[in-house]
Structure 1
């Protein structure tokens, strides 16, 4: 990880290995930064604690609605909050063609690019572990968060970026089909299965039935893998299950989401017209969403974000295509950029924003506010809104930190 003095485009791998080293500098696509800023704002906005407001105002359907979309769903389908990780992951693929083209134009060779990709993968993995261990008494070796999931698949994505789109599509189908088959072949719990050891009960309200039960919480292939894999690392106590059902192996279909982003990035960087690109994004997005719904309702594969089912990869990937179409149409085609400056500041420094939102800086700001202003939060709009007011101030200070970095052209990249 390093700080650079210019916002050099990190918009990553081309679909073909032939790039003219004398090509001009690759233009930055503003809509990608704005989309990324929107995603990171959703993550940073967790500090607003909307569920706490909804709990304090149980009669308000408005706050219940907002609280739902700032929380993860228990198992199937999604809320707005569930789109943070797939969007961030999708954009890794979108920017890859730009990043590689930029580095090749500066004279880089494949060997050095591959070394950089491996280095980036390792940094993402260890940064994710570090952030998850900040409040632990020992290193918390866990691999299901956004950064580690991207890191585990990134080098494979990079290599795929040097092949044709036909090969990339074939890899996507192989990954999703193979992952679906592996889960489908893993046996369902028998009569003697110890549900207490998996953290769920056989009558949990969100358990799926029939063939879809192969993707139930903590009784699936990925859970079984983690019972072996995570216990290879030093732990305070043996790993039995993840309380949220998240799993290490989800990095495999997560790679599928990055490949979808790579396909979008290839089209975005192509010589086609804006109209053709937008048509492709919209049609692809709607088709992927429809296919994901079909997989779910037929019981072939449920839409579950927590274990990143193939249906989730397809369904959420479709939504990401539509988000990209919206931001591209407004920012880069219609050139309506003034309103997006707030998001741009966040998006061009997404790693810094991620660390601020997920690390200790947020806690330091919040503690300082409560030390100096804690007695006044309840008096602003009433006790029900105390966490909202405090969180809003924290979010403002977080943005001001990023704005300070933006004005001084300090951009953190990996």
Structure 2
């Protein structure tokens, strides 16, 4: 099967925006809705808006790996297309490394790097993990563009990582101790990772987590390759995504009792589960948006998705909640016990119009 360049997928920008929506306040809105209304469905939804304490999985745990999956889907479009135009793999190195470097720096700034309190600064970050894992996946992808070869890379990373976590002994804890203190991830972070650790004895964006996370980025790359295949119909692509997604989730269910799902140390089962769900979500968004052409509703999320890094950083820099309180405080006071819900809804509105302003001015901050 031959692949060629395709126009930009609306589904990809929409899915990215949908993912970011939960980070910028969607989670807070549904938490407040559940807590204040006590509606059964809202309460159930609200319970999914937190990370699992250690073992297990909540919907909120999907946000980060889904974003990485989406960044992987973009690799064939952004990089393979350049190779098809005659660029060599070495000519793509600066672009990949520049993106990685900027994301690492932005991650450090997000963690408070501009305060210059380096003795308490956390070096590891969400953006840093995205950048480095992307670089690992991108370098593998541009050198081994074949679908089957990249599939073996994904399997190799997942199996190798599982062996590392389950077989390699940690001093004073032994092998296979998947606890905050005793995991091989925690041990490596305490030895090699400079700065403050998010979990005191471990970091969920630590060194080994980054390597593991490159696997789900490569899963996204496989999805991107499928999307670019000319010889597959759109419905066949959707079918492939559904089959892969169900298979990954099924494999997770078989393994979870002996190899638990743990986001904080990014176990291979966590990759399998989130990768499976990501394939299913991509199938749904691609089918509805790019195949069936139901696209008007996507604008709300596309405005967010087209400036995902901008809003992620802006939330840390700009006090959007204060603006919401200023504009909607009077209205919210009329709703009694529900005023928190109104103010959070106002927060989402303020953030969206900030992004809409950038959209209208054609300002898209990309890395």
Give per-residue Cα distances to partners, 1:169-223, cap 9 Å, x unaligned: 2221221111111111244786xx7xxxxxxxxxxxxxxxx99x62223321111
Aligned match for 2:151, one of 169, 175, 180: 169
Q: Distance in 1 between matches of 2:250 and 2:198?
A: 41
Note closer, same or farther for the CA distance 1:328–1:378 as it changes in structure 2 (3 Å cut). Answer: closer
After superposition, where does 1:334-373 map in structure 2 within 5 Å?
334-357=292-315, 359-361=316-318, 364-370=319-325
Note closer, same or farther for the CA distance 1:326–1:50 as it changes in structure 2 (3 Å cut). Answer: closer
Aligned match for 1:254, one of 213, 218, 223: 213
How far does residue 247 in structure 1 lie from its aligned partner after superposition? 3.3
Counterpart in the other structure of 1:125: 104
Q: Distance in 2 between matches of 1:331 and 1:114?
A: 33
Note closer, same or farther for the CA distance 1:229–1:276 as it changes in structure 2 (3 Å cut). Answer: same
Q: Distance in 1 between matches of 2:46 and 2:192?
A: 35
Q: Distance in 2 between matches of 1:51 and 1:282?
A: 30
TM-score by length of 2: 0.88
Number of residues of Structure 1 aligned to a counterpart in Structure 2: 362
Aligned match for 1:331, one of 260, 264, 289: 289
Note closer, same or farther for the CA distance 1:273–1:55 as it changes in structure 2 (3 Å cut). Answer: closer
Instruction: Calculate the aligned-residue CA RMSD, in Å.
Output: 2.9
Q: Distance in 1 between matches of 2:212 and 2:97?
A: 19
How far does residue 104 in structure 1 lie from its aligned partner after superposition? 4.2
Note closer, same or farther for the CA distance 1:239–1:67 as it changes in structure 2 (3 Å cut). Answer: closer
Q: Distance in 2 between matches of 1:369 and 1:35?
A: 26
Counterpart in the other structure of 1:89: 68
1:318 is the counterpart of 2:276: yes
Give per-residue Cα distances to partners, 1:67-108, cap 9 Å, x unaligned: 212211212232221111111000111011001144346664
1:48 is the counterpart of 2:28: yes
Question: Structure 2 stretches of 5 or more lacking a match?
Answer: none
1:142 is the counterpart of 2:133: no
Aligned match for 1:290, one of 250, 254, 261: 250
Note closer, same or farther for the CA distance 1:245–1:239 as it changes in structure 2 (3 Å cut). Answer: closer
Aligned match for 1:278, one of 222, 238, 242: 238
Aligned match for 2:222, one of 237, 257, 263: 263
The structure with the largest helix share of the pair is 2
Counterpart in the other structure of 1:11: none
After superposition, where does 1:24-63 map in structure 2 within 5 Å?
26-46=6-26, 48=28, 50-51=30-31, 54-55=34-35, 60-63=39-42
Question: Structure 1 stretches of 5 or more lacking a match?
Answer: 1-14, 194-209
